[in-house]
Amino acid sequence: MELKRRPRRLRANETIRSMVRENHIRIENLIYPMFVMPGEKKKMEISSMPGVYNYSLDEFIVALHEVIELGVPAVLLFGIPESKDSVGSGAYHEHGIVQQAARLAKQHYPNLYVITDVCLCEYTDHGHCGLIENGQVLNDPTLDLLAKTALSQVRAGADMVAPSDMMDGRVAAIRELLDKEGFSHIPIMAYSAKFASGFYGPFREAAGSTPQFGDRRTYQMDSANGNEAMLETDLDIEEGADMIIVKPALSYGDIIYRTKEKYGVPLAAYNVSGEYAMVKAAAANGWIDEKRIVLEALLSMKRAGADLLITYHALDVARWLREER
Ligand SMILES: [Zn+2]
């Protein structure tokens, strides 16, 4: 049969396939989320996230050694504080757990790129991302605390801050305070399109941040909405976000695609805890090929338009990529 176009010609063997491959996962694209907590010599595995741990600071430094060895360039830090209160004061304390971790990380590994999550939910006794009054999450009074949190993290050495709270105007508030205090060079990576998702379940176990009443639907986005994600992204960039995050990633490829197409700014896909847990559970049962599934899932995020991948699989991926070289 006479066919002018035969796409199979370029699939004949691995050499030509790799020559025409459109997307790649690179170690340089990986950001590894890590959880730090008070105490000593503690490395507690999160039961729903095999291979992911809560670290005391001494163990955190040990774990960072492996991150560095594998060439993963960046970590995203979350903290589990000693105690929680209604105003989340552990989030913006000079010696808060994340501030201590950032300080230590930069002392030991100056070239490691330290990104800190900016939110209150891990530090509030009610588990919400903002201040509460009469059962409502207050927007504007929360902004000052988020900005204070970001400033304290940057003072401790954070290279970049990542607000995840979804309050209106948080990027502007953080930018303004950082600029005022002499940190105009510190970039903001905003969780611009963060959806109220069932895929966050295992993370809440890890961070102990399950809301004590209600849910987060008054500030995180409805998973049915795509246009709203454009609005949120628009606002964050307008307010000064240097990079944006789409979270979760796997079920939101359209959002990654649309935001990247429309705004063109560097974009990170957050491959969240529930996505990780599903893969791990299926792999533990021998139902899937873990490596293949993880790389395929991450590649789908890159194909959709993600530049960076925030993933709990980061160390495994770095190992696999090194083996292939
Ligand atoms: Zn939060």
What is the distance in A from the centroid of ligand 1 to the CA of 258? 25
Q: What are phi and psi of 78, to 5 degrees?
A: -125, 145
Task: State both tokens at 216.
Answer: 């987060």
If residue 12 lies in a helix (H) or strand (E), which one and from where to where? Answer: none
Q: Are 279 and 288 in contact (CB under 8 A)?
A: yes
Residues labelled as active-site residues:
194, 247
Q: Are 78 and 117 in contact (CB under 8 A)?
A: yes
What is the distance in A from the centroid of ligand 1 to the CA of 171? 14
Q: Are 188 and 171 in contact (CB under 8 A)?
A: yes
What is the distance in A from the centroid of ligand 1 to the CA of 46? 19
Per-residue pLDDT 10s for the chain (325 aa) are 899 999 999 999 999 999 999 999 999 999 999 999 999 999 999 999 999 999 999 999 999 999 999 999 999 999 999 999 999 999 999 999 999 999 999 999 999 999 999 999 999 999 999 999 998 999 999 999 999 999 999 999 999 999 999 999 999 999 999 999 999 999 999 999 999 999 998 888 777 788 888 889 999 999 999 999 999 999 999 999 999 999 999 999 999 999 999 999 999 999 999 999 999 999 999 999 999 999 999 999 999 999 999 999 999 999 999 998 7
d(CA 39, CA 34): 16
What one-character-per-residue DSSP string does 256-280 give?
HHHHHHHH---EEEEE-HHHHHHHH
What one-character-per-residue DSSP string does 38-68 give?
SSSS-EEEETTEEEEEEEEHHHHHHHHHHHH
d(CA 87, CA 123): 8
What is the distance in A from the centroid of ligand 1 to the CA of 122? 7
Report the pLDDT value the prediction gives residue 207, as an integer from 0 to 100.
77
What is the distance in A from the centroid of ligand 1 to the CA of 248? 14
Report the pLDDT value the prediction gives residue 234, as an integer from 0 to 100.
97
286: region left, alpha or beta (phi > 0 left; psi from -120 to 50 alpha): left
DSSP structural state of residue 2: -
Task: State both tokens at 148.
Answer: 């204070």
Q: Which of 58, 57, 55, 38 is nearest to 46 (CA)?
A: 55
Second CATH level (architecture) for the domain 23-324? Alpha-Beta Barrel (3.20)
Report the pLDDT value the prediction gives residue 57, as an integer from 0 to 100.
98
Protein residues near ligand 1, an ion, with CB under 5 A: 119, 121, 129
What is the distance in A from the centroid of ligand 1 to the CA of 165? 5
| Identity of the amino acid at 321 | L
Report the pLDDT value the prediction gives residue 215, as an integer from 0 to 100.
87
Q: What residue spans define the domains of the chain?
A: 23-324
Q: Could you give the residue ranges of the DSSP H alpha helices within 160-207?
A: 170-180, 201-207
What is the distance in A from the centroid of ligand 1 to the CA of 290? 30
